[in-house]
Amino acid sequence: MVSLDAVRGAPKVLLHDHLDGGLRPATVIELADGIGHRLPSTEPAELHAYFVRGAEAKDLAQYLDTFQHTVAVMQSEDHLARVARECVEDLAADGVVHAEVRFAPELLQQRGLALQAVVEAVLAGLREGEAAAGAAGRTIVVNAILCAMRTGDRAMEVVQLLDRMRYRDPKVVAFDLAGAETGFPPSRHADALAYAREHLLHLTIHASEPPDLQLIEDAIAHGAERIGHGVRLQSDILFTPDGGAILGDLARWILDRQIPLEMAPTCHVQIGAVPSLAEHPFAKLLHLGFAVTINTDNRLMSDVSVSSETAAVADTFGLGWAELEQVAVNGALAAFAPLEQRRRLVDDVIRPAYAALRG
């Protein structure tokens, strides 16, 4: 039996988590008060419920609208550093040993910060969080993915910033396109994605909305090494009663090349991509050999942690420690980190811990 308490103690890897979607409600209230930003509530539990209601509306526009409040309190260097530090502390307390947290610098300039200043403040906070976690006896590495908003026109600016900063700070590891997807395919930013490929920058691209397979195909065509979400790939797979599957061309391509899928099951239910967790394709894809990973997307809005997501998936599909070890290994090997670091994470941290759990 895989319990939530046991999962919390197991080493986990997180690849898809938005910085502006994981704030502590109490922090939002405190920071908002300091800048005079009006919130739906100034009581932590009520404010938390507000964010969760937006996520559970099964309306992506309503879901994204709640971010106006978290983004509003992330417009100064001090606030950004604090949010990043608390993010790392919360992940470490949840048993995460390696994470990649993403954010869109262009959304964090409402009070005049330069793009580079935004990123530097977040990186400083990540390091503060790592140090605090280390002092508490928890080892964690948290790196940053820079997002450009696919509805905007600043993708080239963001990807060039990433290119400049990666030589100064190894914590800046990849580029992503985020925000509303339907009507805004990756090809809309083909020039920025071409720049990323030509300059050997890591790429992960969101592909979770209709038109389903077309968005995933477009992401791969423009160089995505990982697919953000990718849950709608199931429409290219015919699952058979005997537990097998007939794969379409896209699903076969992704399986054969082991392109990682950054799954966030609770979020997928909340945005209506799947009717329920029980109907999520996660376990079927895992058993077929796809490189699926478990992620939170937005911890505040979805009211989840990596441990709660992992435990819920394990309970729903009857997964044991061997399967959860494979998920953790998938995440470690898919991380945008040097190969030797990924191997050490697997061999020295993940494998021994799960061997003990199995025993």
DSSP string across 292-352? EEE--B-HHHHT--HHHHHHHHHHHHT--HHHHHHHHHHHHHHSSS-HHHHHHIIIIIIHH
Q: Which residues contact 256 (CB under 8 A, 6 or more apart)?
A: none
User: Distance between CA atoms of 282 and 269, rounded to whole angstroms?
Assistant: 12
* 209 assigned to active site: yes
**Domains of the chain, with CATH numbers?**
4-354 (3.20.20.140)
Angle value at C-alpha 126, between 125 and 131, nearest 5 degrees: 95
Please, what are the averages of pLDDT over each run of 10 residues along the chain (359 residues)? Answer: 95 98 98 97 97 85 86 98 98 98 98 98 98 98 98 98 96 96 96 98 96 96 98 97 94 98 96 95 98 98 98 98 98 98 98 96
Name the pTM for this structure. 0.97
Measured CA to CA, the distance from residue 264 to residue 286 in angstroms comes to 14
d(CA 217, CA 220): 5
* Torsion angles phi and psi, residue 323, rounded to 5: -70, -40
What is the 8-class DSSP label of residue 66?
Answer: T
> Which residues, at least 6 apart from 306, have a Cβ–Cβ distance to it below 8 Å?
12, 14, 91, 94, 95, 96, 294, 295, 296
Dist CA 169 CA 173 (whole Å): 9
Helical residues (DSSP H) of 175-318, grouped into ranges: 190-198, 213-221, 249-256, 265-270, 282-288, 299-302, 306-317
Both tokens of residue 60?
A: 């992506």
Residues facing 204 on adjacent strands:
226
Q: Where are the beta strands (DSSP E) in the chain?
A: 12-18, 96-103, 141-149, 172-178, 202-207, 226-229, 237-239, 245-247, 261-263, 292-294
Instruction: Kindly state the tokens that stand for 165.
Output: 């900063």
User: Catalytic one among 89, 209, 262, 325?
Assistant: 209
- What distance, in Å, lies between the first and last C-alpha atoms of the chain? 12
Dmax over Cα atoms in the chain, in whole Å?
59
Distance in angstroms (rounded) separating the CA atoms of residues 164 and 286:
37
Neighbour-count burial for 300-329, b at 16+ CB within 10 Å, e otherwise: bbbbbbbbbbbbbbbebbebebebbbbbbb
Q: How far is CA 264 from CA 185, 274, 294, in A?
A: 20, 11, 6
* Predicted local confidence at residue 59, as pLDDT: 72
Q: How many CB atoms lie within 10 A of CB 44?
A: 15
